């Protein structure tokens, strides 16, 4: 069976991919595999460009891991690989901090399609801990007193706290995955 190789072991991200997979007929029959891979960037990306690089690196690494597994198993199957990276970016005009989730997808490990979630503004006290103290978003959210969950990224995420559960981290991630897969069924339009 074709493989949907996801470059993460994060349960929230995997649940988001599974939810999106169930909505796309052409990939419903893919077997989803998860791969612990490195992003190749710092733990807390602080620009949109860096976040995209991290997502692409994860997708590429997941693709390569799935290929290795198939060689070991002696099978040749289609691979759709995804890399998901959440990161921050700062607006040049006023220095406000925003969080966005990027999903990068590839079917060959060479060309990539990116999708993004909605972006939301990180509250100034949290952004200060990130910018001035080098904390990641989870650490900064804890330091700012918004949560005491040290595993916020696998739970509701900062988006879940700020929206009082109206937008969960999983739903937020689903947006990026869905947008990344717009090329499915539109291959000619997205040919690079």
Residue 143 pLDDT more than 90? yes
pLDDT in the model for residue 60: 98
Could you tell me whether strands 31-34 and 3-6 are parallel, antiparallel, or unpaired per DSSP bridges?
Answer: parallel
pLDDT tens for each residue of 70-100: 999 999 999 999 999 999 999 999 999 999 9
Q: How confident is the model at residue 154 (pLDDT cuts 50, 70, 90)?
A: confident
pLDDT in the model for residue 155: 85
Q: Which residues have a Cβ under 8 Å from the Cβ of 51 and sit 6 or more positions away?
A: 45, 85, 86, 87, 88, 89, 100, 102
Residue 153 pLDDT more than 90? no
Q: SS3 for 130?
A: helix
Q: How confident is the model at residue 192 (pLDDT cuts 50, 70, 90)?
A: confident
Q: How confident is the model at residue 39 (pLDDT cuts 50, 70, 90)?
A: very high
pLDDT in the model for residue 1: 84
Q: How confident is the model at residue 170 (pLDDT cuts 50, 70, 90)?
A: very high
Question: What's the whole-number mean pLDDT along residues 158-178?
Answer: 96
Q: How confident is the model at residue 191 (pLDDT cuts 50, 70, 90)?
A: confident
pTM over 0.85: yes
Domains of the chain in start order, with CATH, are: 3-121+170-183 (3.90.950.10)
Q: Check if the beta carbon of residue 30 is closer than 8 Å to that of residue 83.
A: no
pLDDT in the model for residue 162: 96
Q: Check if the beta carbon of residue 74 is closer than 8 Å to that of residue 32.
A: no
| Rounded-to-integer distance, Cα 168 and Cα 159, Å | 6
| Rounded-to-integer distance, Cα 155 and Cα 6, Å | 18
Could you tell me whether strands 79-90 and 113-116 are parallel, antiparallel, or unpaired per DSSP bridges?
Answer: unpaired
% residues pLDDT > 90 (the chain): 94
Question: What's the whole-number mean pLDDT along residues 149-153?
Answer: 87
């Amino acid at each position: 069976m074709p493989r949907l190789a996801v470059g993460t072991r994060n349960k929230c991200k995997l649940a988001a991919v599974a939810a999106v997979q169930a909505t796309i007929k052409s990939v419903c029959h893919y077997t989803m595999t998860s791969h612990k891979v490195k992003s190749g960037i710092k733990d807390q990306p602080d620009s949109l460009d860096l976040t995209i690089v991290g997502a692409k690196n994860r997708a590429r690494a997941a693709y390569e891991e799935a290929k290795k597994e198939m060689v070991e198993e002696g099978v040749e199957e289609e691979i759709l690989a995804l890399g998901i990276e959440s990161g921050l970016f700062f607006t040049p005009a006023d220095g406000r901090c925003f969080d966005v989730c990027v999903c990068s997808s590839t079917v060959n490990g060479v060309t990539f399609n990116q999708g993004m979630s909605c972006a939301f503004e990180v509250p100034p006290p949290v952004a200060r801990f990130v910018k001035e103290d080098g904390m990641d978003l989870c650490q900064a959210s804890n330091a700012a007193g918004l949560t005491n969950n040290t595993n916020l990224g696998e739970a509701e995420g900062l988006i879940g706290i700020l929206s009082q559960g109206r937008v969960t981290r999983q739903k937020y991630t689903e947006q990026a995955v869905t947008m990344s897969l717009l090329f499915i069924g539109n291959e000619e339009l997205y040919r690079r």
